[in-house]
A and B are shown apart, each in its own frame.
Chain A
Amino acid sequence: MAVDKKFIGKKYPPVEYEVCKEKVKEYATAVGDLNPLYMDEQKAQQSRYKGLIAPPMFAVVYTKDAVAQVMFDRELALNLPMLVHGEQEYEFVDVVRPGDVIVTEAYVADIYEKGDKDFVVAGGISKKKSDGSTVTRGKWTFVIRR
């Protein structure tokens, strides 16, 4: 059964995430990207960032719970065993650092069919809680085989 297009534009409650330096180190270690800007406080101090930063792809961590609301939405009722993550994009608007509290709002960006597959695109806009400035915009394309 095709996913109902009436859900395009549906918004979900904002989800907060506080970035912490130990989690950033854990993430950088797990993906094997040992850039001192993520790991080494002294070296990061001497850089143009004047302190530790999160890898841009750390967005995966702080946006996860917001976008999970789309995946597990009972109204959308996505057939999860048949779902694969088809595409991903992130726009990196501003630097994220340990200590930042990031608020992500997820929404249904698009729903369409191609062949025997349904495509559901979830969007997520992440902002700093402190000043409301945008840090990332993400798009997750889920492909559901029928």
Chain B
Amino acid sequence: MAITAKIGDIFTLQKEVDKYRPIFYAGASGDFNPIHIDAEFGKMVGLGGAILQGLCTMAFVMQTVSEWSHDPYKVKKLKVRFAKPVLPEDTITITGKVTTIENSTARCELIAKKQTGEEVINNAYAEVDLG
């Protein structure tokens, strides 16, 4: 199913990070780095607690794009920069914007922000097949 998209289209998704999300993600992904599952360790290394795995936040970004595209494998490429850590009980808002369309591929610039407005993912984009 073709996607109707035009330059300037904006899409968004909000994700709440509950207290135990890093532990669920550790189990599912195998990333048991102590900075994700041990709040005391996280504080000791200056992160302010146990932080969410960056790749989990990237999965939120992927969900945002794939809900917009209605088909996850229409997303051909996803690139992100992890700007700041995400902590349990943060609320993350992901926003995508179509910036170019060429050869039936849309390039969407992406950004993820915390409830404070701080950017947690930036310099991010997806390439989506519109065909």
Please give, as numbers and ranges, the residues of chain A lying within 8 Å of B56 by CB-CB distance. Answer: 30-31
Please give, as numbers and ranges, the residues of chain A lying within 8 Å of B1 by CB-CB distance. Answer: 48
Please give, as numbers and ranges, the residues of chain A lying within 8 Å of B19 by CB-CB distance. Answer: none
Residue interface bits B31-68, CB-to-A below 8 A is 1, else 0: 10000000000000100000000111011101100100
Complex Cα gap A116–B13 (Å) = 36
The verdict on B108 contacting chain A, using a C-beta distance below 8 Å, is: no
The verdict on A53 contacting chain B, using a C-beta distance below 8 Å, is: yes
Contact A85 B29 (CB under 8 A): no
The verdict on A45 contacting chain B, using a C-beta distance below 8 Å, is: no
| A56 and B30 in contact, given A85-B54, A87-B80, A88-B55 (Cβ under 8 angstroms) | no
Complex Cα gap A27–B81 (Å) = 22
Complex Cα gap A95–B73 (Å) = 7
Complex Cα gap A89–B78 (Å) = 6
Pick from A23, A55, A84: contact of B82, CB under 8 Å: A84
Complex Cα gap A36–B28 (Å) = 18
Instruction: With both chains docked as a complex, state the minimum distance between the C-beta of B56 and any C-beta of chain A, in angstroms.
Output: 6
Q: Can you report 16 A-B residue pairs in the complex whose CB atoms are below 8 A from each other? A: A26-B27, A31-B28, A32-B63, A48-B1, A48-B71, A56-B66, A57-B55, A60-B29, A60-B58, A61-B28, A88-B58, A90-B78, A92-B73, A92-B75, A92-B76, A95-B73
